[in-house]
């Protein structure tokens, strides 16, 4: 991931095919419209953006036809040298978590990607099957830690029996997983770009996926306030600000380049 961001810039483009975006592109809210939208983004940006984050929910809503589009888009993006984080926020225990890991993280899994977002709220240890599969495949995880939704602090800021907050315990677990990393470990956290300062130590020696930039209010300059000394490890994710420039491919590229330049300046790429 560090190599990809050094080469192409740190921008992560979220692929979130909302119905209103399909309409904005003049496409029907169908599996066919989804395919046209998604492949339009892929064709325009796959060879110039380091990281993409397709939101699985917007593909799942079209059933097997939508999953097929997600599968094909992931293959096309990776073939173009981009990294793919599938944003599915899976979280379960035992063999069920192992099943999710086999689908998304195993080298020959049907939806094999570079990293998967996962939820730790059945206990950090419940992620072990995904951790093991990621290590085996050379993939990674992004674990929910400090999200920007207003309901998040109800759980994330609660204190554990051992003292730290739930979010702090998650960050500690990730820091331990990345302890032997030379630069950027494979186990990252999801930290909202609009959460402001939390007092948590975000230096986990791993990547920090930061959604909420652009249309959701987060700014490149504001990343310094949220992430402090760990800002170099941020993977800034923007979706609507980029996708809204379509369907014209040149406009999509211009929007991605502008965002990437802003993030390069702040993050030091």
DSSP state of 221: T
pLDDT at 17: 97
Check if the beta carbon of residue 231 is closer than 8 Å to that of residue 266.
Answer: yes
- What is the number of other CB atoms lying within 10 angstroms of the CB of residue 133? 23
pLDDT at 238: 95
pLDDT tens profile 23-38 = 999 999 999 999 999 9
Report the C-alpha gap between 187 and 100 in whole angstroms.
Answer: 17
How many helical (H) and strand (E) elements, i.e. helices and strands, does the chain have?
Answer: 12, 8
Determine which helix (DSSP H) or strand (DSSP E) holds 6, and give its type and residue range.
helix 2-8
pLDDT tens profile 95-150 = 999 999 999 999 999 999 999 999 999 999 999 999 999 999 999 999 999 998 98
pLDDT at 199: 86
Of the candidates 106, 109, 54, 102, the residue with the CA atom closest to the CA atom of residue 77: 54
Confidence label for 162 from pLDDT (cuts 50, 70 and 90): confident
pLDDT at 84: 98
- Which active-site residues does the annotation give? 89
Per the model's pLDDT, the better-predicted residue between 215 and 81 turns out to be 81
Of the candidates 161, 222, 178, 170, the residue with the CA atom closest to the CA atom of residue 201: 170
Six-digit token string for 262: 């802003």
pLDDT at 214: 75
Lowest mean pLDDT among 42-46, 112-116, 217-221, 226-230: 217-221
Report the C-alpha gap between 237 and 223 in whole angstroms.
Answer: 11
pLDDT tens profile 164-219 = 999 999 999 999 999 999 999 999 999 999 887 778 999 999 999 999 887 677 89
pLDDT at 163: 87
192-202 b/e (C-beta count within 10 Å ≥ 16 → b): bbbbeebebeb
Considering the entire predicted model, what is its pTM? Answer: 0.97
Q: Stretch 149-158: mean pLDDT, rounded?
A: 91
pLDDT cut 70: percent of the chain above it: 100
Check if the beta carbon of residue 15 is closer than 8 Å to that of residue 46.
Answer: no
């Amino acid at each position: 991931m560090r190599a990809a961001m050094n080469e192409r810039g740190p921008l992560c483009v979220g692929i979130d095919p909302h119905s209103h975006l399909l309409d904005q592109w003049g496409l029907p809210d169908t599996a066919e419209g989804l395919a046209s939208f998604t492949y339009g983004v892929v064709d325009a940006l796959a060879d110039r953006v380091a990281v993409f984050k397709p939101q699985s929910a917007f593909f799942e809503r079209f059933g097997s036809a939508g999953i097929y589009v997600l599968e094909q888009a992931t293959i096309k993006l990776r073939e173009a040298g981009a990294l793919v984080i599938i944003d599915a926020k899976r979280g379960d225990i035992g063999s069920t978590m192992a099943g999710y890991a086999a689908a998304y993280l195993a080298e020959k899994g049907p939806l094999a990607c570079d990293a998967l977002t996962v939820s730790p709220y059945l206990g950090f240890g419940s992620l072990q099957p995904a951790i093991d599969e990621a290590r085996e495949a050379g993939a990674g995880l992004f674990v929910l830690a400090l999200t920007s939704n207003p309901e998040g602090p109800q759980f994330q800021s609660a204190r554990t029996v051992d003292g730290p907050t739930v979010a702090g315990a998650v960050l500690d677990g990730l820091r331990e997983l990345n302890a032997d990393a030379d630069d950027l470990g494979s186990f990252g956290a999801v930290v909202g770009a609009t959460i402001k300062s939390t007092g948590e130590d975000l230096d986990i020696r791993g990547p920090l996926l930061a959604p909420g930039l652009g249309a959701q209010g987060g700014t490149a300059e504001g990343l310094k306030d949220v992430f402090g000394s760990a800002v170099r490890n941020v993977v800034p994710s923007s979706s609507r600000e980029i996708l809204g420039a379509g369907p014209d491919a040149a406009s999509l590229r211009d929007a991605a380049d502008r965002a990437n330049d802003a993030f390069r300046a702040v993050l030091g790429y």
